[in-house]
Amino acid sequence: SSDLPDYYESVIKVFVDLYKKGKIYRGKRMINWDVRAKTALSDEEVIHKEVAGKIYHLRYKLDVPSEEYITIATVRPETILGDSAICVHPKDDRYKDLVGKFAFVPLINRRIPIIADDYVEIEFGTGALKVTPAHDMNDFVLGQKYNLEVIDTMNDDGTLSEAAGLYIGQDRIEVRKIITKDLDAAGNLVKIEDYTHQVGFSERTDAIVEPRLSLQWWVDMKKLAAPALEAVMSDEISFHPAKFKNLYRHWMEGIKDWCISRQLWWGHRIPAWYDEEGNFYVAHNEAEVNANYPETIGKKLTQDADCLDTWFSSWLWPFEVFKGLSNPGNAEVNYYYPTSTLVTAPEIIFFWVARMIMAGEEYMGKIPFKDVYFTGIVRDKQGRKMSKSLGNSPDLLGLIDQYGADAVRFGIMIASPAGNDLLFDESTLEQGRNFNSKLWNAAKLLKMWEPRISNEGKVPEDAAFAMDWFQAKLSATQLEVDEMLKTFRLSEALKTIYGLIWDDFCSWYLEWIKPGFEQPMHQGVYERTVEFYDALLQLLHP
C-alpha cells in the first residue's frame, strides 16, 4: 500500500515522542521469555494453564558443625543451580534459629544465606522457600530486596548455560528428569508428590514460558492508563456486555509496564542507535542522531536489532489509518474519528482495545469509539475452542453449500449471546434452513392467492381484526428489536423476530386471513399482508 510508509513513520514518531516524554525507557527487568521463538513476551501474551505436575522436597545441608539439613519444596528442581538464598517466614518457630545462618545448594555446594521475609507462606510445602532471582518473578523481587546474587543458568533456547555449572547445553525440561535422579543418588531427595499448578505458555508457540532477567524497552503504562480507565468507568465508552467493564477496571488499576521490544525480525525496528561504548540515542533516523547529539558525529553507530511488539503499531489504528497523526486535521480523520462501534473478541481487550483508547486519548485528545461489542469464542459441542490442531472447525463454505448462506448466518447468530461463547451445533443451521423454508412458503402462499384477488365488498370482519392485531404485534416488536439492536443484544433480537414470523405471522395471522375453499382474497387484505411481509423482511435484514 502507498499509505504504508506514512503509517511506519507514525509508529516511529510515537516511539520517539513517548521516549522524550519519559513514557518509554530501557531497563533490565524480569520478562516472559519464549524459548522456542527466542523473544520477550508481554504479560498478556502468556496463557496460564492448569498442569498436573510434581512437587519435589529437597534437603539442603546446613553450614553448622552437626549433620543437619533444611528441607524446601519446589516444582522446578532444575533451577536450584541458580539458587541465591533460602527464605523462611520470620514467625515460623521451626526455622527462627536458622535465620542468618547458611546452607549449601545440593550437587554444586554453593553456600547461600537463610533469610526471613513474610512473603513466605508458613503452611505451603515445608515453609522454606528456595530463592532463584534469575528464574522467578517473585524471587527476583526478594533478590533485589536483600541484595542477592543473580545467577542466570539458562540460555535463550531453554538449555542450561555455563553459569549452571552442570548439565550445560541440555534442555531444562530434560534436566528436570536427570537432576531428580542425581539428587536422589546424592541423598538430597526426600519425596515427590503430585501437584496441580498454573503454568504459563506462549500464546504464539505454546512453549512453556521462562521468567528471565533481560534488558528490554518498556512503556510506562501508569502514565497512559488514567484517561483510558476514566473513559470506560464514566461510560463515555460502553462495553457490551457490561460485565467486561469490571475486568477492564481490574486490569487497568493494576496495570504493569509493557515490554515492547521483540527479538523477532517482524515489525517496526526500534529507532535507537548505539555507539561503541554502549551509549544509546533515540531518534527517527541516524542523521537525526548526529544532528541532536554532536558527540556521535564520526562514531560508528549501530541500530537496535530488536523490533516493536506488533500491538505498538496496532494501537494507532483508529486514527492513523486516516493519517490522523501523519497529517493532523485532514478531512478524512475529522469525518471518521472517533468511530462509533468496535466489534472484537474479549481476549484482546488488553492487547488492543485498552491500548487503542490510550493512544486515542494521548494523540487525538478524545476516545476512538463509543461502543465496544465483544463477540464470544466459537466452541464445539464438547466446549473445546475450535482450532486447526484439533480439527474441530467446520468447513464454512461446505456448510453454506449444504444449508444456504442465510441458514448459516441464522444458526450462528441465534446461538451467539453477546460476550458469551458460542457452542456450535449444526442443529441450529437446520433450524435456520427450516426458518428460511417457512419464509419461502409464506411468500409462495401469497403468490397462490394472487389469481383470486377481488375488490368487491368490504374487508371481512375476521380479516380486519387480524390485520389490526398483527399491526399491533409488529409495531411493538419493531420498537423492542430497535432497542435490542441499540444495546447489541443481537441474538435476542433474532429470537424475537423468529417468534413474530413463525408463530404470530405464519401460524396465526396467515391462517386467520386465509380465504375459504375457492373463495376470493380481498385486495385490501392481500395488499396489507404483502406490506406486513415486506416489513418482516426489513426487520430481519440486519
Residue 504 one-letter amino acid: D
77 HSE (CA, 13 A, CB side): 30
Output the pLDDT for position 418: 67
**Residue with grid cell 526455622, as numbered in its chain:** 95
Q: CA–CA separation, 278 vs 306, rounded Å?
A: 15
Is beta strand 272-274 parallel, antiparallel or unpaired with respect to 189-202?
unpaired
Cell numbers describing residue 510: 396467515
Output the pLDDT for position 419: 65
Is beta strand 238-240 parallel, antiparallel or unpaired with respect to 128-131?
unpaired
Residue 49 β-bridge partners: 199
Q: Which residues of 40-69 are buried (b: 16+ CB within 10 A; e: fewer)?
A: bbbbbbbeeeeeeeebbbbbbbbeeeeeeb
Q: CA–CA separation, 486 vs 482, rounded Å?
A: 6
pLDDT values of the chain reduced to their tens digit, one per residue, 542 residues: 445 678 889 999 999 999 999 999 999 999 999 999 999 998 888 999 999 999 999 999 999 888 899 999 999 999 999 999 999 999 999 999 999 999 999 999 999 999 999 999 998 889 999 999 999 989 999 999 999 999 999 999 999 999 999 999 999 999 999 999 999 999 999 999 999 999 999 988 999 999 998 999 999 999 999 999 999 999 999 999 899 999 999 999 999 999 999 998 888 999 999 999 999 999 999 999 999 999 999 999 999 999 999 999 999 999 999 999 999 999 999 999 999 999 998 888 999 999 999 999 999 999 999 999 998 888 888 888 887 777 888 888 999 999 999 999 999 888 887 667 888 888 899 999 999 999 999 999 999 999 999 988 899 999 999 999 999 999 999 999 999 999 899 999 999 999 999 999 999 999 999 988 878 999 999 999 999 999 999 999 98
What is the H or E stretch that residue 6 is in? helix 4-20
518 with 449: CB under 8 angstroms?
A: no
Output the pLDDT for position 63: 94
Q: CA–CA separation, 166 vs 294, rounded Å?
A: 48
Q: CA–CA separation, 47 vs 277, rounded Å?
A: 39
Residue 374 β-bridge partners: 344
Q: CA–CA separation, 460 vs 473, rounded Å?
A: 20
Q: CA–CA separation, 32 vs 41, rounded Å?
A: 5
Q: CA–CA separation, 61 vs 196, rounded Å?
A: 28
Q: CA–CA separation, 359 vs 322, rounded Å?
A: 14
Output the pLDDT for position 1: 40
Residue 171 β-bridge partners: 159
Cell numbers describing residue 390: 484439533
What is the H or E stretch that residue 431 is in? helix 426-449
The model's pTM:
0.80
129 with 120: CB under 8 angstroms?
A: yes
Q: Which residues of 261-289 are buried (b: 16+ CB within 10 A; e: fewer)?
A: bbbbeebbebbbbbbeeeeebbbeeeeeb
Q: Which of 71, 73, 80 is nearest to 55 (CA)?
A: 73
487 with 240: CB under 8 angstroms?
A: yes
Q: Give the torsion sign (CA, 352, 358, 364, 368).
A: positive
Cell numbers describing residue 168: 550445560
**Residue with grid cell 512453556, as numbered in its chain:** 208
Output the pLDDT for position 3: 53
If DSSP states are collapsed to H, E and C, what string results for 93-139? CCCCCCCCCEEECCCCCCEEEEEECCCCCCCCCCCEEEECCCCCHHH
Output the pLDDT for position 223: 92
Q: CA–CA separation, 380 vs 386, rounded Å?
A: 6
